[in-house]
Amino acid sequence: MKHEPWDSTSAEAHRLVFGARNETYDHPAIDYSRTAALFEALTGIDLSVREAICFMLCVKLSRVGAGLDHDFPSGKIRDSLVDLAGYADCLFAVWDLEATSSLDELLDDIDGPEDLGPEYL
């Protein structure tokens, strides 16, 4: 029996990560360095860029878990599943960039939340 293809969450995540999100927020290393800096300013906890992305993965896994616990229909957790795929891709992009030693060059101008500008605070 042949099944119809489903509306792929990973394809949607790819469109977002390489389209609208990238245009709006820049490379994930830049975007999540801002997130890590703001998290540290708020909590005093210093996260690496990869840890900041992993934190977002945890948020989405928690939401999927709530969906499983409450037997949500698939459409109700779709957004979290799309985000999981997107965050996984962002994590890979940052990890790969760090492996090539270009993350420091990309982030040279960002020292902390005070350097991010008012639009990020």
Give the pLDDT confidence of 89-102 residue by residue, as tens digits: 999 999 998 888 66
Distances (CA, A) of 45 to 6, 58, 77: 41, 17, 30
Q: What was the pLDDT predicted at 109?
A: 56
Question: How far is Cα 2 from Cα 106, in angstroms, rounded to an integer?
Answer: 47
Structure tokens at 26: 């820049």
Give the residue with greater pLDDT, 114 vs 58.
58
Give the pLDDT confidence of 10-56 residue by residue, as tens digits: 999 999 999 988 899 999 999 999 999 999 999 999 999 999 999 99
Q: Whole-model pTM? A: 0.80
Domain extents for the chain?
Answer: 9-114
**Minimal CA–CA distance to 67: which of 82, 55, 81, 48?**
81
